[in-house]
Each structure stands twice: as structure tokens, then as C-alpha cells.
Amino acid sequence: MAAATANIIRPKPSPLSYSFKSSVPSSKSVLPFSKIPRKLTPSRSLTVSSSLSQSNSASSSVTPTTSSSHDFVSRYAPDEPRKGADILVEALERQGVKVVFAYPGGASMEIHQALTRSKVIRNVLPRHEQGGIFAAEGYARSSGLPGVCIATSGPGATNLVSGLADAMLDSIPVVAITGQVPRRMIGTDAFQETPIVEVSRSITKHNYLVLDVDDIPRIVSEAFFLATSGRQGPVLIDIPKDIQQQLAVPKWNQPLRLPGYMSRLPKDPSEAHLELIVRLISESKKPVLYVGGGCLNSSEELKRFAELTGIPVASTLMGLGSFPNSDPLSLQMLGMHGTVYANYAVDKSDLLLAFGVRFDDRVTGKLEAFASRAKIVHIDIDSAEIGKNKQPHVSICSDVKLALKGINRIMENKGAKLKLNYSAWREELNEQKVKYPLNYKTFEEAIPPQYAIQLLDELTDGNAIISTGVGQHQMWAAQFYKYKKPRQWLTSGGLGAMGFGLPAAIGAAVANPGAVVVDIDGDGSFMMNVQELATISVEKLPIKILLLNNQHLGMVVQWEDRFYKANRAHTYLGNPSSESEIFPNMLKFAEACGIPAARVTKKEYLRAAIQKMLETPGPYLLDVIVPHQEHVLPMIPSGGAFKDVITEGDGRTKY
């Protein structure tokens, strides 16, 4: 029987996707965590299928490099038969998995029984499968290790869909395992049967339907290799229940069958290309760095590059932390809600160094006007992203880390000969920083949400791991918390999935014991996965929840204010019959799960309240009541250009 289904979709080709481009390149050095944040593209899915041609030739097989099981001590004798579920669990152990986020059901019971026999793997039990996959993402985003989640068939599997799409868009290494009905029942509309391989085909880097118990070791090795190599992403493994129950003697260290995928690994960047980039830098007067999630694993090289050149650095939402916000060269975030000075720098630049980015619409706005004066250098690990939205003048398909190392080496060798001096350019940008700082207004005793985040930054010394939901609070957390290092900032970027913050904080707390983990959430997002308070409580995870509660879907309200004459269309989340009271009472949710909680409504009490939250052992919820009239500023309207930037106003003004 076939061991795996090929991951094939046939979308219309993008006009900017060329046939000679690789859609699923992988890091040359096969570093397990070579890259984060990027976007699903049709051509990317098209080529994954070719990576699974079942060639028997030695040249097309690749010895596994993602796990070293030679020193692994199994609890079974080498020739002892064991269930497929036990083979699966041992395969996870051999990949170094220590934690899974798994919710049981009829088709996955065998896996859970096998997990109870493992002395290595801890299961953190979520209260919803979506909570489980978001927690696996939080684990992966904060640690760089692949996150693992497990769900049953049918509704359990479909509850993973938002998380798979989120991991795909943000390039997060996740391995999702689902139970499936027995093989003989597949296609019969059996109880709790959904074709999750078909459902997830375009939102996973690859997926498998296991049809032979002997393939489990190889498939697990391939799944982890695919998830963590090249442009990272989610991989799904669907395992029928009868395969889980079947007895077999596993064959470990089987070669990977990924000839197509392996053949498209990007090569080391050529010296000539790197020299050309250095020459462009030396010729420019107003260069700017535009860095994204692809730089999270290249933070040291990026800092060295900025030190050598003195070029200002603007970050995407996903790239926050790759370059310290406190550095004088930092322009903070660019894009729709980026700083005026970051967007000014890109608009006026004559050289845009785009490293590990995908020219997303929330960054570029009107494409024709974005960096219209600049030559563009684009370095990315995924060739499908190069030229997809914005045509570069020079491009390199490579791991950004390798490219930066090469550029830094060339510049160090040239030394003073380069004569780089951008002091006038930096002074021009410093004037913009003074003229258009990030700011906000205070109205009497009301708590500005931006002030709450500033206080949190101050009281944690900028060292907390921050997760968020999606909306206004997410943007304020991006603007007003000063991130110092990579993997401090966990947010749903490409998909914008509400409900992400709380379970992501669970994954981060499990991966980083001893770290301060704060979920900055909005009341709308928080309610979407509020059940995960139970997991936080029983697992005794010291997660702090800073809930910015404005009783509305704040970002939608902002757009209503700006573009729909403030007509409220189902964006009020409170109780319409009693608008003067806070509804629902978030403190009761915390109380029901045995979590300490408090509410603060006045600015003068906020500092003490946040201090108490941070000092209280274990989890804590602080319900911060903020006005719904606040707007996230600056704002470049969707499809707009830098000239359209909005810097003033809120919901108290009519437009």
C-alpha cells in the first residue's frame, strides 16, 4: 500500500511565479530552525508533491539528519512487536520531543494510551483542539523547536485548521498528528470521519495519510525534517485507528524519500552577489533595512551588519525582536500601524535591503508607491517570494543567516576602504523621530491602553515573553513594548487569528520555565479561547494576563469610526440592556478556574495593579478597563501610500 498521499493542489499560477523557481527551498545548512514568518503561495504547494516520488535509487534517498537515534535507549527489545501507536510515540521521542499538546478522542485513544507509557513525553492537555495547536505554535515560536499537537478524527481534526493556516502563513514548525477512522471505513462517511488530508492540503507544507504501519518511523522523520528545514511550516500526519493498533517491529533510521525537496535546497549565496550588494551599499546615500521574521535566527548577524554599516533598521510585525528596539538605529515597526519615521525612511530611501520578508500588503500598502525611489535587494529562503509582489534589482535565494555572514565578512575585510557615512541620513530620520513620536492622549481618569503596555515594559524591564490576540491591543503591544531579543514576541501575523494569545502563552510558558510570560489580550480575542484558563490552572503555569477590556471589537470599531461614519454593526461585546456594567465579568471566569484576578478602572491605580500581577506567584488575570474610543495610530489606510498616513484623531471625532 502507498505510505503517503501526495500534497497536490493545482491553483492558477501567479504571474510572478516563474517555472524555474523553487517553491519549497530549504536551508543549505539544514539548520532545524532556519526561518520563520512567510506566506503560503500556490507554487509552493505545487512542488511539494514532487518531493515525495517513491524512488528506490540510492542517489535519491537521503539519510535522516534531523534526529540522532543511535544513542536512543528504547523501552522495547529490538525485535519485540509493539502497537503502531507505541511506534509513533517512540518516533517522537527519537525526534527529541519532550512535550505534546494533545486532546483525546475515539480515533486517537491508542496514541494517548501509548503516551501514558512514555517516560519522556509530557502531555499538556488543552481544553479545545484549537487551543492545543495554538499552544504548539507558542512553544515553537518561543523556543525555535517544532511544536507537536495531537487530535482525534472528524471535529477534532477540523478544529486544528485555523492553527495549521496560522503556522503556514507565519512559517512556524508544527507537526500535527490526527487520528483517523480505520482504513476500511475511509470514504464511507463513518462516524467522526473527515478527510483532513484533503481539508488541510493547501494550508500545510505537506501532509501524510499513513497506510502502512512500517512507514511510521520514516514518515515521522520526514515530517520533522520538512517542518524545520528551509522555509518552515506545518506538517500533518493522519493515522487510521487500525494502523495505531497493528503490531509491528519498527525499522528505525530509514532513509528519507524526499528527492525533489532535497534537490531544491538553496545554494550558498555566491560571492559575486554578495560583493554586488556591498557595492550598492557603498554607493547609496539613504539606505534602510527592512527585516522580517526570516531574520529571527540571524539576530547576531543582523546586529553586526548594522554596526558595520550604520544603516537604520525597520522591522515588520513578525520581525520584532530580531533587532533591539532600544538601539539608536532602530526605527521600530513599519507598515500600516508602523512609526511615521520607519515609513518615511522607506519612502525616501534610495536602497531598500529587504531581508527575510515577503512584501506583505500590510507593510507595503500601495505597491507602486512603496520604496518607489529605491533600488531593492531581496534576500529570502523561499524563491517563490522573490519578485512575487515587488520586483527586486538584486535577489538571493538563501538562508538570511548565511547571506549576512558573507556580507559581514566582505565588509570586515574591506574595512575603512568602504567609507560608509550615513550620518546626514540618520540625522534626517532623527528629526522625524522627534517630530512624530509614538504618543497618545489621556482623558481624565481613563486608562490609555498604550500607557498600560508602557508600564508593563517598564516593570518587566522589557524582558517578558509577550503573546497577544488580534486587534488594537496587538498593535499597541507591537508599538509600545520594547523588545530586546528574538522570540519574545508571539502573535498571529499573517492569519490574524483571534483567540491566539492565551493558548500561545501556554506553549511559551511550557517551553520557557522561569520566564515571565504575559498574554496582552483584548476582551474579544480572550473570549475565543477562554476555556484554556483551566489548562493554565491545572498545569500551574505562571502566565500573567493583561486584559485590555474596552467591551468592543476595537479594531473593527476603529474602521467603523474612520470609514463607516461610526455606524456600529455588531461590534459591541457587552450587554446592550445594561451598558453601564462590564459584561461579561472576566473575573468570574478566572475565579471558576481558581486563578487570582483583579480589575482596575483608573489610571492612578494601574502601576500598583500591574506590580501586584507580576509579583503574585502563579497565574493572574488583570482586567484593565480602557475606553473604546482609542484608535491605533499612526495608520496608513489599506491600499494607501505614505502620503496618506493618519496621525491624529480617535472615536471622539466625527469623520
Give domain limits for the chain: 82-263, 271-435, 449-632
- Take residue 473 and report the three cell numbers written for it: 491591543
Name the percent of the chain lying above pLDDT 90.
Answer: 87
Q: Which residue has the cell 503560503?
A: 40
Considering 191, 271, 285, 441, which one is annotated as catalytic? 191
DSSP 633: S
For the residues 211-217, what does the mean pLDDT come to? Answer: 98
The CATH number assigned to the domain with range 82-263 reads 3.40.50.970
Note the pLDDT of residue 266. Answer: 83
What DSSP assignment string belongs to 375-438? EEEEEES-GGGTTTSS--SEEEES-HHHHHHHHHHHHHHHGGGG----HHHHHHHHHHHHHS--
CB atoms within 10 A of CB 148: 28
pLDDT tens string 22-38: 333 333 233 333 333 33
Cβ partners under 8 Å of residue 176, min gap 6: 133, 136, 148, 149, 150, 151, 160, 163, 164, 204, 234, 235, 236, 237
547: region left, alpha or beta (phi > 0 left; psi from -120 to 50 alpha) = beta
Helix (H) or strand (E) holding 288: strand 287-291
Contact yes or no for 24/231 (Cβ under 8 A)? yes
φ, ψ of residue 14 to 5 degrees: the values are: -70, 145
Q: How many helical (H) and strand (E) elements, i.e. helices and strands, does the chain have? A: 24, 20
* Residue 547 CA to its chain's centroid (Å): 21
Average pLDDT estimate for 442-463: 97
Per-residue pLDDT tens digits for 514-529:
999 999 999 999 999 9
* CATH assignment of 271-435, among 3.40.50.300, 3.40.50.1220, 2.60.120.620, 3.40.50.150: 3.40.50.1220
Question: What pLDDT is recorded for position 69?
Answer: 52
Cis peptide leading into residue 240 (ω within 30°): no
Please tell me the predicted confidence (pLDDT) of residue 527.
Answer: 98
Which strand (E) or helix (H) includes residue 466? strand 465-468
C-alpha cell at 427: 540625522
Q: Is 37 exposed, middle or buried (0-12, 13-18, 19+ CB in 10 A)?
A: buried
Residue 20, pLDDT score: 28
* pLDDT score for 416: 78
Task: Single out the catalytic residue among 21, 35, 39, 241.
Answer: 241
The rounded distance, in Å, linking the Cα atoms of 450 and 442 is 10
Any idea which residue has 507591537 for its cell? Answer: 478
Q: Look at 37-46, 69-78, 114-123 and tell me which has the smallest mean pLDDT.
A: 37-46
CATH code, residues 449-632: 3.40.50.970
Which residue among the candidates 555, 586, 613, 635 is catalytic per the annotation? 555
One of 28, 98, 192, 245 is an active-site residue; which one? 192
Q: What is the pLDDT of residue 465?
A: 98
Residue 468: pLDDT band with limits 50, 70, 90: very high
Could you tell me which residues are beta bridge partners of residue 465? 517
Place of cell 467522526: 192
Question: Is there a common fold for 271-435 and 449-632?
Answer: yes
Say which of 110, 129, 193, 301 is annotated catalytic. Answer: 129
Residue 644 has pLDDT above 90, yes or no: yes
Peptide bond into 195 cis (omega under 30): no
| Cα 479 to Cα 474: distance, rounded to the nearest angstrom | 9
* pLDDT at residue 71, rounded to an integer: 82
Alpha-carbon distances of 117 from 83, 93, 110, 215, 349, rounded to whole Å: 12, 12, 11, 22, 59
Is 129 a known active-site residue? yes
pLDDT digits (tens, 9 = 90+) for 360-393: 999 999 999 999 999 999 999 999 999 999 999 9
Q: Is the pLDDT of residue 80 over 60?
A: yes
Q: What Cα–Cα distance (Å) separates residue 245 from each residue in 81, 91, 111?
A: 11, 16, 9
Residue 541 neighbours by CB under 8 Å, 6+ apart: 505, 506, 509, 510, 517, 535, 618, 619
Query: Catalytic residue at 579?
Result: no
Q: CA distances (Å), 442 to each of 338, 449, 561, in order?
A: 21, 10, 19
Residue 274 main-chain phi, psi, to 5 deg: -65, -40
Let me know if 241 is a catalytic residue: yes
CA 47/CA 25 separation, integer angstroms: 10
Distance CA 310, CA 328 (A): 10
Beta-strand pair 287-291/313-315: parallel
**Segment 158-173, tens digit of pLDDT:** 999 999 999 999 999 9
**Average model confidence (pLDDT) across the chain:** 90
Catalytic, 192? Answer yes
Pair type for strands 82-83 and 247-248:
antiparallel
Confidence bin at 417 (pLDDT 50/70/90): confident
The secondary structure of residue 470, as a DSSP letter, is: S
The b-or-e profile of 77-91 (16+ CB within 10 A means b, else e) is eeeeebbbbbbbbbb
